[in-house]
Amino acid sequence: MNTLPAPAEDLIVLGKIFSVHGIRGEVKVYSFTDPVDNVLDYRRWTLRRDNEVKQVELIGGRPQGKFLVAKLKGLDDRDVALTFAGFEICVPRSELPALGTDEYYWHQLEGLRVIDQLGQLFGVIDHLLETGANDVMVVKPCTGSLDDRERLLPYTEQCVQSIDLAAGEMRVDWDADF
């Protein structure tokens, strides 16, 4: 439906199509953006599932409870729309809005080494979880880490002391035994 997709390493996942809505080919979308409807700001999506990639154009969308309903150009049949379930919604990294000072996208934090105030390596950030109170970093052990424990650390000002993307590390104020 569009030009060639961006290279896979340049794509950022913003959501996922999980079902259909109604009979006119609309799809239900889980959004990973904050706020949830920000995914609707991007008119061209790269859809990716396993080795399959599709370029689509978003015509419109709306919130529907805890998910979104989206209408894609040329997708007017419920049965065809159902084949889109399971596709991740991606956009090129270059299309993401610039952030302010001390703001980071989750994908920038994933893979950072997490080091405590004593210089002990806890591991690397595998992924983040959204909770009601604050986001949580899932830190998995790696080569050279203090131990083999997976840790859940809050992504808060009290815990995160500094982030150095160039060095690939985050300094935290967190007890290794917790």
Beta bridge partners of 91: 12
The pLDDT score that the predictor gives to residue 132 is 78
Question: Which domains does the chain carry?
Answer: 8-94 (2.40.30.60), 106-172 (2.30.30.240)
Evaluate whether 85 touches 12 at the Cβ level (below 8 Å): no
pTM: 0.77
C-alpha dihedral sign at 73, 8, 11, 49: positive
Instruction: Kindly state the tokens that stand for 111.
Output: 């893979």
| CA dihedral over 96, 12, 53, 62, signed as positive or negative | negative
Rounded mean pLDDT of the chain? 93
- 7 has a pLDDT exceeding 80: no
**pLDDT confidence bin for 34, thresholds 50/70/90:** confident
